[in-house]
Amino acid sequence: MGMWASLDAMWELPAEKVIFGAVLLFSWTVYLWETFLAQRQRRIYKTTTHVPPELEQIMDSETFEKSRLYQLDKSTFSFWSGLYSEVEGTFILLFGGIPYLWRLSGRFCGYVGFGPEYEIIHSLVFLLLATLFSALTGLPWSLYNTFVIEEKHGFNHQVLVTIYADYIAPLFDKFTPLPEGKLKQEIEVMAKNIDFPLTKVYVVEGSKRSSHSNAYFYGFFKNKRIVLFDTLLEEYSVPNKDIQEESGMEPRSDGEGDSEEIKAKVKIKKQGCKNEEVLAVLGHELGHWKLGHTVKNIIISQMNSFLCFFLFAVLIRRKELFAAFGFYDSQPTLIGLLIIFQFIFSPYNEVLSFCLTVLSRRFEFQADAFAKKLGKAEDLYSALIKLNKDNLGFPVSDWLFSMWHYSHPPLLERLQALKNMKQD
């Protein structure tokens, strides 16, 4: 009876108190769940000290240990930073940090001559102060959690990647056409065989910033382009080319006359995939296009955006939502965005994120199967291992942690699926 009486008493509280308590309770529930999953995965890092049998012939013990220790350090940092963010966020809510920041920005606007009717100016000042606060404390306050979830799972991917690749990426990285040769010819043949409207193939020199390897395509309609990271290509020697250009030397086919510095830098580049493995990776990526994954993601994204803004239009009129967070006399639109998208939508976002993770993993297995139909199963098998090694990924995962977090299946699961495909 005592428990039910407590529940009845809780529901008899004012609506704003119930909303505020539910937000805090859910926030800590998610944090404890995430911490539980992280500890399960950390146990894997501690206990898995030997290379799995599937990888023994390709991954050496030194690389495996380096990856294991890196992930251990990363998990330690994540635990403490997560705890700090959760405690600080709770204190901000309990002590009225958001309404205080809004009043502070209002005072500043009044000081420079903008009255209460200038809500847009007030909102801009609030955003500036919130950004400054976030930078100083490391606490992320996002108005766009739902849309961040979409990007995590590749939603709106094609539009954003096209804009990024055409206008933003060239400001930071050098894009050069893939030289004529066997690899380019085979890429063009593969694209033609599956009716992929390929127009150009680029190599981006990502090795200057990171050893991360990747490949992707972008473009609208009949104007598709493929981008390969130079770190993906085993036979692409960017350092050699750069040094020769900077020194004014002509390239040499026999390697004679090159300085010891050039030879040393080219020798260092041991990562990357063979041409057959690059084609297998591209077969996987083009599988996403051929199987309609991009279109499906865009449709789901638009439906989700419509639903979110529809619910926002309904909830923005609810005074108790504003009162729950300390806004009793006003209902600023920007604050409504913050409350609804950051807090009220939190349960929906968690469910949506998990469903999209499941869907994304299904798409990845389907794209692997498509590469297998192109006759690339064996090459994709070896390419996945090399890419995992180059990106310093740890190949062993706790099943519950990976199910909740990983939008791509763990390496060993993908290898097992490809092994079954090869046997079939």
Active-site positions? 285, 368
Check if the beta carbon of residue 47 is closer than 8 Å to that of residue 383.
no
Q: Which residues pair with 203 in a beta bridge?
A: 176, 228
Give the pair of three-digit tokens for residue 127. 């955003």
Q: Is 180 annotated among the ligand-binding residues?
A: no
Q: Which residues contact 45 (CB under 8 A, 6 or more apart)?
A: 68, 71, 72, 75, 394
Give every strand in the sheet of 198-204, ordered side by side.
Answer: 175-177, 198-204, 224-229, 215-218
Q: Which residue's entry shows tokens 């590749």?
A: 154
Q: Is 284 annotated among the ligand-binding residues?
A: yes
In one-letter notation, the amino acid at residue 346 is S
Check if the beta carbon of residue 422 is closer than 8 Å to that of residue 381.
yes
Give the residue ranges of DSSP H helices in 272-376.
Answer: 275-290, 293-315, 319-324, 333-337, 346-373
Residue 46: CB atoms within 10 Å: 11
Check if the beta carbon of residue 31 is closer than 8 Å to that of residue 86.
yes
Q: Is 288 annotated among the ligand-binding residues?
A: yes
Residue 174: CB atoms within 10 Å: 15
In one-letter notation, the amino acid at residue 218 is Y
d(CA 308, CA 396): 36
Check if the beta carbon of residue 326 is closer than 8 Å to that of residue 99.
yes
Residues at the binding site for Zn(2+) are: 284, 288, 364
Q: Binding site membership: which residues?
A: 284, 288, 364
